[in-house]
């Protein structure tokens, strides 16, 4: 019997590392030893704080998570590792390869071989672990459809916000502005080359064509609605969990035809469905990871066994970190 260690959310504000049996390999599966996993702070803190809808599947779009619906549970979806064993029907060339998979934080995992993404030689593990967040950023930009010469504002400069700003920076926009209360995040955005970075109480501009709300803060959605012009677009990429959202829709929103657009990475927008699939989008994601090199935003590397410290820090001092990475013993 082979044993792995896994991080569990046991209850709000309670995290533990538990041992459990590794499932036996099926013919089409592979066993992977994890080398790095990234904490997706915006989503994972909802689980850490008990702010997720407990009547729903944790994530029906990820096989490793879909059967869970409440505490205790595993979570995470940014894992990089090395293939150690193969089922009898798997191409033997996969053995020893570096791969990415949508998996919880755990020392080993078993996955269908066709669900593993081989990491190109020119991409480091540290950049590859950002794959899900870059996929989200690519999806957000596809849904936003920025137009040459537009004035664009992004609310929230966590990792998804920074990645989205890095993609928007490559468009010939008239102006690109970001908003975040955390100085460390605003500095990172300015280093990318955005035109301005404001704290929420500093923003005075209100003439944007496109706004993206990526902060996870419900009040920011009202702010986004308030700063776009006639028929402006507001793309909502935040998942608020159980946090209530109170919108002011009785003023400009109705009379000025402001558009609210929901964006979620598990599907591709119907208008692209005839030409795009997830494989094509992953190709773009890998290219953008190599171009942006998001490992520059890794601010903390914490040993897997001390993961509880990572969540305490993200809960109490989010202003001190950009991206937290869990490292695993070799």
- Interval 43-74: pLDDT, tens: 898 889 988 766 554 554 555 545 556 789 99
pLDDT at 209: 98
> What confidence tens digit (pLDDT) does each residue in 91-144 have?
999 999 999 999 999 999 999 999 999 999 999 999 999 999 999 999 999 999
pTM: 0.89
Q: Quick one: which of 143, 198, 186 has its CA closest to 167?
A: 143
Burial of 136 (0-12, 13-18, 19+ CB in 10 A): buried
Written as one string, the DSSP assignment of 17-43 is: EEEEEPPPPPTTEEEEEEEEEE--HHH
pLDDT given at position 52? 76
What pLDDT, on the 0 to 100 scale, is given for residue 68? 52
- CATH 3.90.180.10 in the chain: give the residue spans: 3-119+293-327
* pLDDT of res. 56: 52
Specify the pLDDT at position 248: 79
Candidate CATH numbers 2.30.30.60, 2.40.160.40, 3.40.640.10, 3.90.180.10; the one for domain 3-119+293-327: 3.90.180.10
Please enumerate in sequence order all residues whose Cβ is within 8 A of that of 170, keeping only pairs 6 or more positions apart, or say none: none
CATH fold for the domain made of 137-270: Rossmann fold (3.40.50)
* Alpha helices (H) in 173-294, listed in sequence order: 183-192, 218-227, 252-255, 278-292
Sign of the C-alpha dihedral computed for residues 6, 8, 103 and 160 taken in this order: negative
Longest dimension (CA), the chain: 65
Q: What is the pLDDT of residue 71?
A: 87
What 3-state DSSP class applies to 125? helix
With a cut of 70, which residues of the chain have pLDDT below it?
Answer: 53-69
The percent of residues in the chain predicted with pLDDT above 90, rounded, is 79
Indicate where the chain has its CATH 3.40.50.720 domain(s). Answer: 137-270
Which contacts qualify for 144-147: CB closer than 8 Å, 24 or more apart? 144/210, 144/212, 144/233, 144/235, 144/261, 144/263, 146/171, 146/173, 146/210, 147/209
- pLDDT value at position 58? 52
């Amino acid at each position: 019997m082979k044993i792995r260690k896994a991080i569990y959310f046991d209850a709000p504000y309670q995290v533990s590392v538990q041992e459990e049996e590794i499932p036996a390999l099926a013919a089409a599966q592979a066993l992977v030893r994890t080398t790095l996993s990234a904490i997706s702070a915006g989503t994972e803190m909802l689980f850490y704080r008990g702010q997720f809808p407990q009547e729903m599947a944790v994530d029906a779009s990820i096989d490793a998570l879909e059967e869970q619906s409440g505490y205790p549970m595993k979570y995470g979806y940014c894992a990089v590792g090395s293939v150690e064993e193969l089922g009898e029907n798997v191409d033997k060339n996969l053995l020893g390869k570096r791969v990415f998979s949508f998996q919880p934080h755990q020392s080993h995992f078993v996955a269908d071989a066709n669900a593993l993404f081989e990491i190109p030689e020119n991409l480091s593990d540290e950049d590859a672990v950002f794959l899900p967040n870059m996929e989200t950023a690519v999806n957000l930009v596809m849904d936003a459809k920025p137009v040459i010469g537009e004035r664009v504002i992004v609310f929230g400069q966590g990792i998804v916000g920074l990645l989205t700003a890095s993609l928007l920076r490559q468009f010939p926009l008239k102006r690109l502005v970001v908003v975040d209360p955390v100085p460390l995040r605003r500095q990172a955005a300015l280093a990318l080359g955005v035109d301005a970075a404001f704290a929420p109480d500093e923003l005075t501009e209100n003439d944007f064509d496109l706004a993206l709300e990526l902060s996870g803060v419900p009040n920011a959605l009202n702010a986004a609605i308030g700063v776009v012009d006639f028929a402006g677009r507001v793309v909502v990429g935040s998942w608020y969990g159980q946090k209530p959202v109170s919108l002011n829709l009785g003023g400009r929103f109705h009379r000025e035809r402001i558009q609210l657009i929901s964006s979620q990475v598990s599907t591709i927008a119907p208008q692209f469905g005839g030409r795009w699939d997830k494989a094509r989008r992953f190709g773009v994601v890998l290219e953008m990871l190599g171009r942006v090199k998001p490992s520059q935003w890794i601010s903390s590397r914490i040993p897997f066994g001390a993961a509880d410290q990572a969540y305490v820090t993200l809960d109490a001092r989010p202003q001190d970190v950009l991206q937290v990475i869990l490292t695993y013993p070799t």
